[in-house]
Amino acid sequence: MRTRMILIGAVLSSALTLACVSGTQTTTPGKKKGPNDKVRIGFSMDTLKEERWQRDKELVEQRCKEVGAECEIQVANGDDAVQTKQCDNLLTKGVDVLIVAPHNGQIAASIVEAAHKQGVPVISYDRLIRNSDVDLYVSHQVVKIGQMQAQYALDHAPKGNYVLIGGSPTDNNALLLREGQMQVLKPAIDKGDIKVVTDQFAKEWKAEEALRITEDALTKTNNNIQAIVASNDGTAGGAISALPPQLVGKVLVTGQDASLDAVQRIVDGKQTMTIYKPIVPLANSAVDSALKLARGEKVEAKDKINNGKIDVPSILQEPIVLDKSNVMQTVIKDGYHKLEDVYKNVPKDQWPKQ
């Protein structure tokens, strides 16, 4: 009996030891890379549907080549389960840093937790990962973008009926944009200068959702709409396609991303404005910061954004209002779009001189 008790004690002791060792291994930070060691970066993307995300992918790959880092990119196509699995796969492959553009900022917190258990830092890219200990957030000034959209609308359509079309409700950026928009619009709403006849979010940022929302608003108001504050160019395009011909170019429509089709609509007089967010500094800051995190170096992040759990160190790029008046000085000057592509629907004798 005594021998049996000793054996049981030994087995329990051994199990506890294994459990402790296992626990220690999963929470021990990964070995920091030396200055000459190659850093392996995993980039988990939500989607490549929009033109701007294709640019992000290309620019991150390009920057990785420039700085001598390995990069593997996986795209979840709007599926949270797929994105989580892909990140697990990247961690299994031994990436040193994860850059994550989350489909759902709440669900992606589990990705941060899994990465940290393996000592892998995580950078939240463009969209904030909520309620997590994410190491860094690189994005544009999202609340400011919402303010810029709303201020432009008020400056050019100070009175009348407004339609507000948000982005995907699972994307924290959509909520931040609405916050910024309402900071500017609320005083005008309270004064009665403008009336918000529709305020809805477009599932997955889909243009067809924006079309439906706009059609409903037109029916409700008997086509009496002065401004559509669309949160990005995809939803702007959907809203414009819902407008009857006599209202196209008359109803103010905002956007965001400076996608080629949107800038074409702007020079054609169909869309009023967009927000140009230079992607090169965003992609470069993500890759450069990933190298620093992998090597245990300090990342200079002057901003902080609270994600519901911590104040996340943040690098936020400056957005730019783009309308018909400054196309040449912004996207064309930067090489973001070519003049012949932007003005292809405009008679050549009306093209601006370069």
Calculate what percentage of the chain has a pLDDT beyond 90.
89
Instruction: Please tell me the distance from the alpha carbon of residue 222 to that of residue 217, in angstroms, as a whole number.
Output: 8
Number of domains the chain is built from: 2
Torsion of CA 133, 134, 138, 140, to 10 degrees: -50
pTM of the model: 0.85
Q: Considering the domain boundaries, does residue 95 fall inside one? A: yes
* Over residues 325-332, mean pLDDT: 96
Position 6 scores a pLDDT of 40
Average pLDDT, the chain: 91
Name 165's bridge partners.
200, 230
According to the model, what pLDDT value does residue 8 have?
A: 40
Q: Assign 26 a pLDDT band (cuts: 50, 70, 90).
A: very low
Q: Are residues 52 and 196 in the same domain?
A: no
Res 36: pLDDT: 81
Going by pLDDT thresholds of 50, 70 and 90, the confidence category of residue 242 is very high
Whose tokens are 């995300």? That residue is 53
- Are 163 and 262 contained in the same domain? yes
In a domain, 4, yes or no: no
What does the pLDDT look like over 138-191, one tens digit per residue?
Answer: 999 999 999 999 999 999 999 999 999 999 999 999 999 999 999 999 999 999
Whether residues 174 and 199 share a domain: the answer is yes
Distance, CA of 273 to CA of 153 (rounded, Å): 9
Both 129 and 147 in a single domain?
Answer: no
Q: Is residue 20 part of a domain?
A: no
- Residue 288: helix, strand or coil by DSSP? helix
Q: Whole domain around residue 256: which residue ranges? A: 142-277+320-349
323-344: average pLDDT: 96
142 closest CA partner among 158, 125, 157 = 125
Task: Establish if 326 belongs to a structural domain.
Answer: yes
Is residue 157, in this structure, part of any structural domain at all? Answer: yes
Average of per-residue pLDDT across 311-329 = 97
pLDDT of residue 30: 54
Query: What is the rounded CA–CA span in Å between residue 130 and residue 307?
Result: 5
Instruction: Tell whether 250 is covered by a domain.
Output: yes
Q: What is the pLDDT of residues 39-89, one digit of tens each?
A: 999 999 999 999 999 999 999 999 999 999 999 999 999 999 999 999 999
Has residue 244 been placed in a domain?
yes
**Are 130 and 167 in the same domain?**
no
